[in-house]
């Protein structure tokens, strides 16, 4: 989201459950690791969801496509953090 000239991220649906088992929570956009035994929700799963949401935008420039590829990596440890994402060229003011 963008407000006051700055970007910020907020997951209203799952914000209080970081590092928790998903239980009955079954998001429409499930990261690849979601079905792994012992899966615990992490910020990396949030970032994967954010990448999938960005992917649905019609007007992504080259930087946007690069960011989507980074965020939707199959390996959770390879995805950028929220802080790194906010520093990505796609989200910097032009």
Average pLDDT over residues 87-93: 90
pLDDT in tens, 9-25: 555 455 556 666 777 77
Reduced 3-state DSSP string for 33-65: HHHCCCCCCCHHHHHHHHHHHHHCCCCCCHHHH
The pLDDT assigned to 35 comes to 87
In the structure, what pLDDT confidence band is assigned to residue 27 with cuts at 50, 70 and 90? confident
pLDDT in tens, 29-78: 889 998 898 888 888 988 998 999 898 888 899 999 999 999 999 999 99
The pLDDT assigned to 88 comes to 96
**Among residues 17, 72, 28, 27, which one has the least CA distance to residue 50?**
72
What secondary structure letter does DSSP report for 65? H
**Where do the DSSP E strands lie in 1-94?**
2-3, 6-7
């Amino acid at each position: 989201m963008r407000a006051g000239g700055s970007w910020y991220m907020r997951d209203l649906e799952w914000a209080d459950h970081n590092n928790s088992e998903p239980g009955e929570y079954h998001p429409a956009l499930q990261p690849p690791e979601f079905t792994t035994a012992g899966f615990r929700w992490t910020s990396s799963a949030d970032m994967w969801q954010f990448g999938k949401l960005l992917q649905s935008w019609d007007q992504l420039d080259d930087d946007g496509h690069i960011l989507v590829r980074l965020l939707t990596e199959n390996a959770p440890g390879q995805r950028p953090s929220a802080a790194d994402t906010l520093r990505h060229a796609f989200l910097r003011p032009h």
